[in-house]
Amino acid sequence: MEHSTQTHAGSHGDHHHHHEELGFWKKYIFSTDHKIIGIQYGLTSLLFLLFGFFLMIVMRWQLAWPGQPIPVIGGVLEKLMGAPASGGVMSSDLYNMFGAMHGTIMVFLAIVPLAFAAFGNYVVPLQIGAPDMAFPRLNMASYWVFFLGGVVMFVSFFIPGGPAQAGWTSYSPLASIVPTDGQTYWLVGMVLLITSSLLGAVNFLATIIQLRAPGMTWMRLPFFVWAQFVTGFLLLLAFPPLEAAGLMQLMDKVAGTSFFLPTGLMVSGKPADIAGGGSPLLWQHLFWFLAHPEVYVLILPAMGIVAEVIANNIRKPIWGYKPLVYSALTIGFLSFIVWAHHMYLTGMGTAISTFFQTTTIIISIPSVIILTVFFISLWGGSIRFNTPMLFVLAFLVMFGIGGLTGLPLGFSYADLYLHDSYYVIAHFHYIVAPGTIFALFAGVYYWFPKMTGRMMSEFWGKIHFWTSLIFMNLIFQPMFAQGMAGMSRRMYDGAVNYSAATNPDSLGGLSDAMIYSNRTISIAAFCLMIAQIPFIINLFYSIKGGKKAANDNPWDATTLEWQTPTPPGHGNFDVVPTVYRGPYEYSVPGHARDFTPQNMPDAIATKKA
């Protein structure tokens, strides 16, 4: 840009010539255009989503048929991973590795970059009427730091000893005393990923604060922008403590410090050769100080997408826009003071537990308000049941299940029993998998025409939706029962060792039905994998072969991203848009059409066609 202002000193505003000059590398790889960066984030994180899913598929085989060689890929795994996969069988070490990396990859490399960075990058500047992000080069830097972090995580699978295996939470001292280098790679990868999201968060916040188009006041922002705004603050303020914790654990790993290693630590029956004096609880506090706000980082952008798709498909304004915004802000604030509800079992004391139990239950109020606003919005709408809307409607129910089943975990006495069981797995997967991921699918189907100028196939979209919905529930619903029956989430043999069949003389063994449901769950998971094939084909085929979108605004939407050329060029808008109204003015009485774009003045809106 500086270059262009020097060469075209006299001709302000004419940058078509300038962006024609960009070669392939500058335009698609090292691009500073927020839309290209958004798509880069999107594709990278979709790949990681698939990879994280693949890890779980392999683990599901082991849980259902413990000790049996993994079909088809067992041999490949043995070649790639060596001893932990010898004979094509998943060893306990390999199970731990895949488990730890499944969580890490899904949270930090798939969902967050997809929900925040990909959709945020593509949509936010368009929705607020900005030409780009506030700091385009910083934006490029955050993508490439993210990419590097992903590479470090991925490479760690192929080092001797394999990747991190102490769970995605990497609790010390366990994580610090595993003798392999996987944890070091994990920590370096995390520091890179955290740096990337910090740069991204600064950029998003500055963009939303500074680059709103004239007339785009705070209460005229589409809810998606609000959701990204709160998410940005969560990332900005919650991630640094984990970066600090990561640095300290890295020091424990490579410099021999004892930040998280207590005095008197025994490793394999011998006193560890360390100075001691550290605090394992310190790691948990710092980790969950990030990781609880992180849950809202996962869900808020999804809620933002839901608001956009719902408003567009009920053809009337969202009921209660302001409560929605205030609830999101309240969630953002409260999410910083609930973290220790992950730590009821650590013996930190009943007084502290009671405090965190109280805040945890309070934070469910704004979440319920948001869900209620969406449900009431449906009332009396003439709903269009297209693919994005189906995913969003399913989100409402699935997120409802996930949210309500979280309440028993928020109460410290109930959590004592349910902690670390399959119940917890079922609870947060209901929020993140059929919750957030469904909303992200809705986002892909909804904004695809803006990105490419073509529609994705409705038929295959509906197949994708119904099969995914059924199999998601077949996977996660039985886990509630397994968890309440007492099945721990960390058993690599599917808890066979704790079954009533293996221990006929002891009380409380897991029943045959609980053990057997491991198989139904696994089969459902394999089917879920097959159900994603239509989506993948649909996504890539439609780029060139999809039905052409009727116009720049095929969904008849009101928000600014649909008032641009398709796909938007460098700089997004031909002229600076002026905003005259709120984000969801559908079916306004007296207006000519059932949607009134934000940048349409009243004089034109009321004119009969």
Decide whether 443 or 568 has the Cβ nearer to another protein: 568
DSSP 411-465: SHHHHHHHTTBHHHHHHHHHHIIIIIIHHHHHHHHHHHHHHHSBPPPHHHHHHHH
Helix (H, G, I), strand (E, B) or coil at 200: helix
Interaction of residue 264 with another protein, rule CB under 8 A:
yes
Task: Indicate which single residue of 275, 376, 501, 537 sits in contact with another protein (rule: CB under 8 A).
Answer: 275
Q: What is the DSSP string of 468-483?
A: HHHHHHHHHHHHHHHH
User: 3-state SS of 373-415?
Assistant: HHHHHHCCCCCCCCHHHHHHHHHHHHHHHHHHCCHHHHCHHHH
Q: Does 245 bind another protein (CB under 8 A)?
A: yes
Is position 391 an interface residue for another protein (rule: CB under 8 A)? no
Question: Is there binding between residue 198 and another protein (CB under 8 A)?
Answer: yes
270: DSSP letter? E
The residue type at 143: Y
Kindly write out the interface string for residues 567-586 of this chain, putting x where it contacts another protein by CB under 8 A and - elsewhere. Answer: ----xxx-xx----------
Is the separation of the CB atoms in 456 and 546 below 8 Å? yes
Instruction: Using the minimum distance from each CB to another protein, give the nearer residue, 282 or 414.
Output: 282
User: Alpha carbon of 512 to those of 417, 482, 496, 497, 509: distances in Å?
Assistant: 21, 11, 9, 12, 9
Q: Using CB under 8 A, which of 91, 279, 372, 587 touches another protein?
A: 279
Q: Which of 135, 147, 428, 516 binds another protein (CB under 8 A)?
A: 135
171 binds another protein (CB under 8 A): no
> Contact between 259 and another protein (CB under 8 A)?
yes
Helix, strand, coil percentages for the chain (3-state, nearest 5) = 65, 0, 30
Stretch that binds another protein, among 78-86, 248-256, 499-507, 541-549 (CB under 8 A): 248-256
Using the minimum distance from each CB to another protein, give the nearer residue, 270 or 608: 270
Applying CB under 8 A, the span of 174-182, 257-265, 449-457, 487-495 interacting with another protein comes to: 257-265
**Pairwise CA distance, residues 507 & 436, whole Å:** 39
Among residues 135, 325, 317, the alpha carbon closest in space to that of 229 is found at 325
Residue 15 as a binder of another protein (CB under 8 A): the answer is yes
Helix boundaries (H) for 14-113? 16-20, 24, 34-64, 74-81, 92-104, 112
The least CB distance from residue 481 to another protein, in Å, is 39
In the complex, what is the shortest distance from the CB of residue 576 to another protein, in angstroms, rounded to a whole number? 6
Smaller CB separation from another protein, 9 or 609 = 9
The residue among 221, 238, 240, 241 whose CA lies nearest residue 229 is 221
Per-residue contact flags (x/-) with another protein for residues 205 to 244, judged by CB under 8 A: xx--xxx------------------------xxxxxx-xx
Strand partners, 499: 510
The smaller minimum CB distance to another protein, of residues 210 and 503, is found at: 210
Which residues make beta-bridge pairs with 267? Answer: 270
177 belongs to the binding site for another protein (CB under 8 A): no
Check if the beta carbon of residue 481 is closer than 8 Å to that of residue 407: no
What residues from 465 to 524 belong to the interface with another protein (CB under 8 A)? Answer: none
Touching another protein, residues 358-377 (CB under 8 A):
none
Q: How far apart are CA 62 and CA 151, in angstroms?
A: 27
Instruction: Verify binding: residue 303, another protein, rule CB under 8 A.
Output: no
Closer residue to another protein in complex, CB, 204/448: 204
Among 57, 227, 286, 300, binds another protein (CB under 8 A): 286
Burial of residue 382 (number of CB atoms within 10 Å: 0-12, 13-18, 19+): exposed
* Binding-residue total with another protein (CB under 8 A): 61
Q: How far is the CB of 471 from another protein (least distance, A)?
A: 40
Instruction: Kindly list the residues in this chain that would bind another protein in the complex (CB under 8 A).
Output: 1, 6, 13, 15, 130-132, 134-136, 138, 198, 201-203, 205-206, 209-211, 236-241, 243-245, 247-248, 251, 255-259, 263-266, 270-279, 281-282, 285-286, 289, 571-573, 575-576
